[in-house]
Amino acid sequence: MRVGTGYDVHRLTAGRDLILGGVKIPHELGLLGHSDADVLLHAVMDALLGAAALGDIGRHFPDTEEQYRGISSMKLLAYVSRLLREKGYRIENIDATVIAQKPKLRPYIAQMEQNMAKVLGVSQSQINVKATTEEGLGFTGSQEGIAAQAVCCLEPSGVQI
């Protein structure tokens, strides 16, 4: 079994969509970044890449590359999924937490889990997303940004391409 962790942070700003787990969430602020700035998927991708000892998202999708400007992180997750399969890994499970004061995310969590499961080719029961606040403390509590962290387990499938 291989274990990986991921963490990501993006600043909240006006004039951007708030996208988490591939879900566009109604909110007056969105996340600033080179791509769609989906902190949840970025943390998940870093966990998956780390568990497979394949670096991080900055290595695979540098923010200096125009081809990644505004790209959907769901497309990046699909690339990571293909890479894991090529390297002979199978996803056992993913557990992730989004840290945001607002908006309330509970109504969107099932769709986030579905989105990730579909792209990764796993059962939704293998994906768990949680949301929490920091009770008004820190940069997430003051609504300056949103953070996410993830952990995953990979199993070697025995097949390497």
Residue 103, annotated as binding a ligand: no
Residue 62: the pLDDT is 86
| Gap between the Cα atoms of 133 and 99, Å rounded | 5
Residue 134, annotated as binding a ligand: yes
Mean pLDDT for the stretch of residues 109-124: 98
> Looking at per-residue confidence, does 136 or 95 come out higher?
95
Residue 88, annotated as binding a ligand: no
Q: Count Cβ atoms within 10 A of the Cβ of residue 141 and give its class: 0-12 exposed, 13-18 middle, 19 or more buried.
A: middle
Residue 58, annotated as binding a ligand: yes
Residue 27, annotated as binding a ligand: no
Residue 63, annotated as binding a ligand: yes
Residue 132, annotated as binding a ligand: yes
| Gap between the Cα atoms of 74 and 100, Å rounded | 20
Residue 63: the pLDDT is 87
Residue 159: the pLDDT is 55
pTM of the model: 0.94
Residue 17, annotated as binding a ligand: no
